[in-house]
Each structure stands twice: as C-alpha cells, then as structure tokens.
C-alpha cells in the first residue's frame, strides 16, 4: 500500500494531501475515490486511509484504522559524511534512510574534492530531501530523516556536543585491527540515546582532522578488516547497528 508523509496531524480523522504527493496519487498512481493509502503524520503515527475527495488542490483521505508500527531504530543515528564526489551522497542518503538513519550531516573535509556551491544549495538540498522522503516511504519508515545543509568541519565539531555518543570510522584503525570501540559503543547505547558517526570523503580524514576529533571526545573505530569506500562504510555501520540492537536482542 502506497505510503505518504503528511506534515501535520489528522484533523477530525482526515488527512489533507497536496503538492507533489497529490500529483503522485492522481497522475502517477491513478488512484480514485475509495482507494486506500497509508498516511504518516508529523508525529510518526501512521494510519490506513481511504480516499474520500480529489480536487484540483488536494486529496482528502479518511482514516480507516490507525496502525501500531515499530519500524524505527530505538536510537537516533546521524551519519556525517565528508562531501564525496558524484552521486555518492545521494546513494548514502537513499540506502541509509532504508536502513534507519535519523539524520544526514554532510560536511566539507580537507580532502573533499567537491566544493560546496551556495548558489546551487537550495536545489541540491531539495533533491537530497526528496530522495530521503521516497526511501522512507518505500521502506515504511515512521519518521522522515532530515538532510542538513553541508557544514564546515569546525561547525561539525561544535554540533557534536548535541550527541550522547560520537564515533569516527578511521581506516588506520581497521588496518591496525581495532574492533572494540565500535562494539563497546553499541553495548552501551540505550533506547532514546543518540549516536553521531563521522566518515571521511574518498581520500579519508587528515591526521589534523582526526586529532581535532579526538580532542572533542570522539572515539576512533575500525569497521572490520577490510577498507570500505566512503559510500559503503555508513551502510556497513547502520547494518551492524540494526543487527546488534534489533535482531541480536
């Protein structure tokens, strides 16, 4: 059943869907009055709904049954990625959303080949958020992850104070056989807590960046014996977190 995120709560057990989602329902899915969809409100509550009205401005859907779903990770995972080349960040956002990430935080690293263009920022962020929205609908998420506008490394360090746990995936730690920090952090995480994980761009993080992260209470961790690409490492981490917290327990 097709899923749609609605930016507000239901009014009198009715959802009002407009803009692109209305277009998708009417023009793409070719739905009619009486067809059913799933609506997710601003608080993450979902309901099976029946389309009651279709106008030129909106689709009105009546709640048939509220659903009791548990599709979110019990902890909040933020993926901070050093700006990579090409469409790699789009891949991270799409697949990371499917795997339960709470937020995506791109940042400009010393070795980022891509330089952030403020003139093109609005369109880029809009596209990233759309990718996250479509992935959240496809994977039956109850929460729509936020994709933050790229920030500087300095701002990343300041923002890191907002999280309960902070890890840096560092390839040198993998080469040295370090496996305990990642595992130990997962053992400590409790429901409702937050974890910020930092991943470097294609060229990795510089020694200076790593030292600054250490000084700001980040723990360095390896992700197994193999060196992972910048677009692979966040997905490996999310899969490991999901297994440990949702399946193993």
Query: CA 244, CA 249: separation in Å to the nearest integer?
Result: 7
Q: What is the pLDDT of residue 247?
A: 86
**Dihedral of the alpha carbons of 228, 234, 236, 241, in degrees to the nearest 10:** 150
Q: What is the pLDDT of residue 140?
A: 92
Query: CA 144, CA 159: separation in Å to the nearest integer?
Result: 21
Q: Length of the chain, please?
A: 249
Which SS3 state, helix, strand or coil, does residue 79 take? Answer: strand
Answer whether residue 49 shows pLDDT above 70. yes
Q: What is the pLDDT of residue 177?
A: 57
Tokens 């403020």: give the residue. Answer: 118
Mean pLDDT of 118-134: 89
| pLDDT band (50, 70, 90) for residue 249 | low
| pLDDT band (50, 70, 90) for residue 227 | confident
Q: What is the pLDDT of residue 69?
A: 79
- The answer to whether 38 and 72 are in contact (CB under 8 A) is no
Which SS3 state, helix, strand or coil, does residue 221 take? Answer: strand
| pLDDT band (50, 70, 90) for residue 225 | confident
Which SS3 state, helix, strand or coil, does residue 234 take? Answer: helix
Query: CA 22, CA 28: separation in Å to the nearest integer?
Result: 10
Which tens digits make up the pLDDT trace of 164-211? 999 999 877 555 555 688 989 999 999 999 999 999 999 899 999 999
Q: What is the pLDDT of residue 180?
A: 80
Read off φ and ψ for residue 22, nearest 5 degrees: -65, -45
DSSP conformation class of 74: S
Which tens digits make up the pLDDT trace of 69-118? 788 999 999 999 999 998 999 999 999 999 999 999 999 999 998 877 77
Which tens digits make up the pLDDT trace of 8-45? 888 889 999 998 999 999 999 999 999 999 999 988 89
Q: What is the pLDDT of residue 173?
A: 59
Instruction: Give strand ranges (E) for the chain.
Output: 3-5, 14-18, 36-40, 46-54, 58-67, 76-82, 103-108, 146-147, 151-152, 165-169, 194-199, 219-221
Domains and CATH numbers, the chain: 3-67 (2.40.240.20), 76-247 (3.40.1280.10)
Q: What is the pLDDT of residue 215?
A: 96
Q: What is the pLDDT of residue 110?
A: 93
Q: What is the pLDDT of residue 75?
A: 95
Q: Check the CA dihedral 75-79-155-124 and report its sign.
A: negative
Element housing 173 (H / E): helix 171-175
Query: CA 165, CA 185: separation in Å to the nearest integer?
Result: 8
Q: What is the pLDDT of residue 11?
A: 86
Which SS3 state, helix, strand or coil, does residue 59 take? Answer: strand
Which tens digits make up the pLDDT trace of 130-163? 999 999 999 999 999 999 999 999 999 999 999 9
């Amino acid at each position: 059943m097709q899923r749609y995120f609605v930016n507000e709560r239901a009014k009198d057990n009715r959802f009002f869907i407009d803009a692109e989602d209305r277009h998708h329902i009417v023009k793409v899915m070719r739905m009619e009055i009486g067809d059913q969809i799933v609506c997710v409100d601003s608080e993450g509550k979902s309901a099976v709904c029946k389309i009651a009205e279709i106008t030129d401005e909106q689709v009105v859907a009546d709640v048939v049954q509220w659903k009791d779903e548990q599709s979110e990770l019990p902890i909040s995972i933020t993926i901070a990625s050093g700006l990579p080349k090409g469409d790699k960040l789009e891949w991270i956002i799409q697949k990371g959303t499917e795997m339960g990430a709470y937020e995506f935080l791109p940042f400009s690293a010393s070795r980022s080949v891509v330089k952030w263009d403020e003139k093109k920022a609005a369109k880029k962020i809009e596209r990233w958020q759309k990718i996250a929205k479509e992935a959240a609908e496809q994977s039956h998420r109850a929460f729509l992850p936020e994709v933050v506008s790229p920030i500087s490394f300095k701002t990343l360090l300041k923002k890191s104070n907002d999280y309960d746990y902070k890890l840096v995936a560092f390839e040198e730690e993998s080469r040295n056989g370090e496996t305990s920090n990642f595992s130990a952090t997962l053992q400590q995480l409790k429901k409702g807590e937050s974890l910020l994980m930092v991943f470097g761009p294609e060229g990795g993080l510089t020694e200076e960046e790593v030292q600054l992260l250490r000084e700001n209470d980040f723990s360095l961790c390896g992700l197994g014996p193999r060196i992972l690409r910048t677009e692979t490492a966040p997905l490996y981490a999310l899969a490991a977190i999901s297994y440990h917290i949702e399946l193993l327990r």
